[in-house]
Structures are given as structure tokens and as C-alpha cells.
Amino acid sequence: MKHYLLAGAIGTLAGAVAATQLAGPLIAQETGKNASVYEQLDLFGNVFERVRSDYVEQVDDKKLIESAINGMLTSLDPHSSFLSARDYEDMQTQTRGSFGGLGIEVGQEDGLVKVISPIDDTPAAEAGVKAGDYITHVNGESLMGLNLDEAVEKMRGPVGSEIKITILREGEKEPFDLTITRDVIKLTVVKTRIEGHAVVLRVTTFNDETMSTLRTEMEKAIQQAGGIDKVTGFVLDLRNNPGGLLNQAIEVSDAFLDKGEIVSTRGRKPEESERWNAKLGDLAQGKPMVVLINGGSASASEIVTGALQDHRRAIVVGTKSFGKGSVQTVMQVTPDSAIRLTTARYYTPSGRSIQALGIQPDIIVEQPAPKPKDEEDADTPRSASKFSNSEADLRGALNNDAVSDEEKKQIEEEARQVEATAKLREEDYQLAYAVDILKGLSAVDFRADAVPESVKPAVTGEGAADGDAPGGTQDQDSGGASRQ
């Protein structure tokens, strides 16, 4: 849609110039078979001067040129764009883990602003914004026809101010409004919890702090669980994680793999292909893993998921991921501005591209919609505690003389944990499903080193190298989306 609007605008300008009988030679050069790049730049300069001198209102030269550059980049794909001084500063702030806004990652689809994912514990998430929502209006003003940067600008405002956004959501008959108060967004990149004997690692984004925080939080959680021997496994929760830095996705994947390819990238030239391999060392120490994904899991999240899935290191549970299989490089072009340019496609260890396809879970588990409060009350069963429902409740039942008091306490504790997981299904069905899988695997003494090796990784061309991307540019896998 953005490319179509740009072509229309250029066509109108060309028609106006032709009417003045001044652009005939330039049009002939443009349509000629041997038109050179310099002739095309002359065309651009001619149009630029016409806009400056003849447009109905005076235009800002800097803004006009930046808009032209952004139009050129956004016509390539949805993730390439120009970063003005303000946008470039915002991007650098976001990768450091703190910024002001609503707390959503957005992209553009068919001229509409689409929510890739809400960020945990932010105003947008608390207001009920969901991955896949379309934002059609801001404070009653339509976003139709605006490019992504213009739409994002409409959503900006002082911290503490209110904004009303209109949401179009699949399954809802009519659009509806949400009022959100802007706030300073401080990203908690990794949160951990213990469910039963499973360690849940919730990773919300991939920024400069992700891997170091993951390592620290894992160590704390393992200690809290009573040591690695007490842990049944790990749940890596990547739901609604919109991605981030490529090198962080590689490091997180490497944290759970001992060997083999993690990801490869292939650019325009074969010699620019790269491949990253895992180094010895598994933070989970061979314990089973489940990765949770959904439609808000994009980009760097898909790199991690694809690597662990291809190596059969983890069972992937949830719903299909977003399907962004390209890598963007942020290139500084002036001291205070940059371009975000799609420079490569990435491939999982088995050689598959998930571009526009997403990653299919090994087990599809939908997250049920929450029930209205009145339905919850109606479905709650009356207590059966006053009725006998086991041998132990019968009057005069024999004692179990084969179990010590200590063993009985252990059995009761296990029962409490099972009941807690059952209760978790009401709060987060997908997570409860993942915890149940780990408990089942622990019952049969599963270990990662007992799983056969995955399919042999595809060769990505000569010149592939292990390690991070070359210096001088910053690979940002989630480029093209914007956090607000």
C-alpha cells in the first residue's frame, strides 16, 4: 500500500511538469532503454526543485528530502526505513531497555498499523491490547494513508498524557476504543518463576541486556528450586516477544546448545553469507525444555525457536509465530541519523526460511479466551469436602504401614504441586500445558543428550564464519517494527 501511494504521488508530479513543457527531455531519458543512474538523479532534482518553488505551501527542505529517502526505503519492504535524528535516538534507547510510550511493537500491513505484540507490564498490555490488533484511529483521527513513521508520530506524547486508540480485532463485530495513559516503558527483559519443579523463563525482548540477565535469573531460579537435580525442566516463554538484536538471539540459542549450527544469513552476495555455531556448554544442563510461542513471537524469537526445534533440543508449544525471516542492518548515514536496511534472510539450522510462513509448533495449543466473571462463578463446583471420595475418608480405614511420615509429606507435597498446575490452567492454559509436558518427560527420565542429532545443517556458502556480525553496523533482527 505504501508503494502504491508513492507511485501515485510521483505520477501526479510528472503530469504537472509535462504540462509546462519543461520536462520532456527528462521523461524521454527516464523511459529510454539506456537511462543512467545520473539521469534518474537529475529527474529527482528537477522534481525536488519544482516542489520547492511551486507547491501550494512553503516546504521544509530537510523534511522533504528525508521523506523522499524514507519513501525510497519503505518501497523496498515493510522493514526498511529512514531513521531521523529522533527515531535513531529512540532506537538506541530501546535497545538499552527503557523508553517512553504505550508499550507496543507495531508494524504496517495493507496500509493499517498492526500490533505485533504488546510488551509485558506496560500501559498497552494492561489496557488489553493484543497481538494482531489493528489500530485504525488515534484520538478519533484516521491513520489510513499514513506511513508507519507518521502513524507512530500520532501516538507519541508526553508521559502521563492520555491517548484514545481505536482497535479492529478479529472476532469482534465492531471496532472499539481503548484509553491508555502514556508512561516510561522500562523493559524487564527476563522474568523467572517456579511452577511445580519447572523453571519458567519469560523473555520479553532481545536487547543488550537479555543474555546477561537470562544467565543471572536462571542461576537464581535453579537455586530457588533447590538445585538443578530438583528441576524437571525449563519453559522458555517467547510469546509476544517481537525480537530485537540478532547477536542476542544467537547467544540465547547458544546457551542451550552444545554444538551445531544456530542460524545462517544469506545476503545479496554469496561471500556475505554467514553462519553461527554453538559452543560447548548448556545452561540447562541437559534438562528437557519447552518453548512457548504465538503470533506475537517474531524475528529474534523465531531464530531461537527454530534453532532449538531443529536440534530437537526443545518441544515447541503454542500457535504459529509471526513469520519474519529477514535481518535488518542499521547504518549510520549522518552523525545523528541512520537507515534501517534489509540486508539478508536468515535460515534455521535445517536450512528452512520462515519468511512469511512462521514456525509451526510441535504441539498446537490455543490460549482459551478468558471467561466472563459471571460464567466463572456459574461453573465453580460446590465443595465436595463433606462427602467421602477416597478410601482414607472411610470410617475405620486401615493405615498405610508401608509409608513413613517423611514419605507421606513428600507425596502430599507432590499432590499440592499437581493441584497448583491444574489451577494454573485457568490462569494460563498454554503455560500449564508446557509444565505438564516437562513433568511427563521427567517421569521417564528424559535427557537432551539422549535425543538423536537433528538433520544436518545446510551449507550456507563459502566465507561463512562463526561469531557475531562484523563491526561497523548493527544487525537488528526486529527492524521495521516500532515500539510505542
> Which residue type, as a one-letter code, is found at position 118?
P
> What's the Cα-to-Cα distance from 240 to each of 50, 132, 153, 294, rounded to whole Å?
46, 10, 23, 7
Segments making up each domain of the chain, as ranges: 99-186, 190-324+354-364
Spatial distance between the Cα atoms of 465 and 274, rounded to a whole number of angstroms: 5
Question: 401 — phi, psi (to 5°)?
Answer: -90, 5
% of the chain surpassing 90 pLDDT:
60
Other residues' Cβ atoms within 10 Å of the Cβ of residue 399: 7
DSSP secondary structure, 429-471, as one string: HHHHHHHHHHHHHHHTT--GGGSPP-PPPPP--TT--SSSPPT
E-strand stretches of 145-195: 162-168, 176-181, 183-186, 190-195
Cell reading at 282: 548448556
- Residue 18 falls in which region: left (phi positive, over 0), alpha (psi -120 to 50) or beta: alpha
**Closest by Cα among 322, 295, 328, 289 to 307:** 289
**Fold type of domain 190-324+354-364:** 2-enoyl-CoA Hydratase; Chain A, domain 1 (3.90.226)
Contact 196, 439 (CB under 8 A): yes
Name the pTM for this structure: 0.79
63 a catalytic residue: no
pLDDT of residue 326: 96
DSSP state of 324: -
- Here the cell at position 33 is 532503454
Among residues 310, 436, 475, 477, which one is catalytic? 310
Burial code of 277-289, b = ≥16 C-beta within 10 A, e = fewer? Answer: bbeeebbbebbbb
Most confident of 8-22, 170-184, 389-403: 170-184
Q: Which residue has the cell 507435597?
A: 413
- CB of 164 within 8 A of CB of 127? no
Strands 104-109, 134-138: parallel, antiparallel or unpaired by DSSP? unpaired
Told to judge if 324 belongs to the known catalytic residues of this protein, a careful annotator would answer yes
Inter-residue contact 366 to 319 (CB < 8 Å): yes
Q: Which CATH class is domain 99-186?
A: mainly beta
Reported as a single tens digit per residue, the pLDDT across 250-266 is 999 999 999 999 999 99
- How many angstroms separate the most distant Cα atoms in the chain? 108
Confidence of residue 395 (pLDDT cuts 50, 70, 90): confident
Q: Whole-angstrom Cα distance, residue 313 to residue 421?
A: 23
Where would I find the H helices in 300-451?
300-310, 373-379, 405-427, 429-443
What was the pLDDT predicted at 291? 98
Q: Which three cell numbers stand for residue 327?
A: 535481518
For residue 245, the 8-state DSSP code is: B
User: Of 97, 144, 143, 147, which is closest to residue 120 (Cα–Cα)?
Assistant: 97
C-alpha cell at 179: 484509553
CA 73 to chain CA mean position, Å: 22
Active-site residue among 253, 273, 297, 299? 299
Please give the residue that has the higher pLDDT: either 384 or 20: 384
Least confident of 35-44, 50-59, 186-195, 276-285: 35-44
Interatomic CA distance for residues 198 and 437, integer angstroms: 10
310 is catalytic: yes
Does the pLDDT of residue 4 top 60, yes or no? no
Mean pLDDT over all residues of the chain?
83
Q: How far is CA 80 from CA 71, 270, 322, 417, in A?
A: 10, 21, 18, 48
How many Cα neighbours within 13 Å face the side chain of 430? 24
What local confidence, expressed as pLDDT, does residue 394 receive? 79
Structure-block grid coordinates of residue 196: 511445580
- Partners of 252 in the β-ladder: none
Q: Which of 114, 154, 287, 324 is catalytic?
A: 324
Distances (CA, A) of 13 to 47, 48, 57, 303, 413: 7, 10, 15, 43, 75
**pLDDT for the residue numbered 37:** 87
Q: What is the mean pLDDT of residues 419-447?
A: 87
Mean pLDDT of 399-425: 77
For residue range 64-91, what is the model confidence (pLDDT) as tens digits? 999 999 999 999 998 999 999 988 998 8
pLDDT at 34: 53
* Average pLDDT estimate for 389-399: 76
pLDDT of residue 27: 52
Sign for the CA dihedral angle at 446, 447, 453, 455 comes to positive
Asked whether 325 and 353 are in contact (CB, 8 A), the reply is yes
Question: Per DSSP, which regions of 298-375 are E strands?
Answer: 315-318, 326-334, 337-347, 363-364
Contact 263, 309 (CB under 8 A): no
Cβ(184)–Cβ(159) under 8 Å? yes
User: What mean pLDDT is predicted for residues 330-342?
Assistant: 95
pLDDT at 307 over 80: yes
Residue with more model confidence, 230 or 32: 230
In the numeric block, which cell numbers belong to residue 191? 522474568
Of the candidates 290, 303, 432, the one whose C-alpha atom is nearest the C-alpha of residue 358 is 303
pLDDT per position as a tens digit, 110-166: 888 999 989 888 999 999 999 999 999 999 999 998 888 889 889 988 889 999 999
Residue 412 binned pLDDT confidence (cut-offs 50, 70, 90): confident
Q: Which of 31-35, 181-185, 265-269, 284-288 shows the lowest per-residue confidence on average (mean pLDDT)? A: 31-35
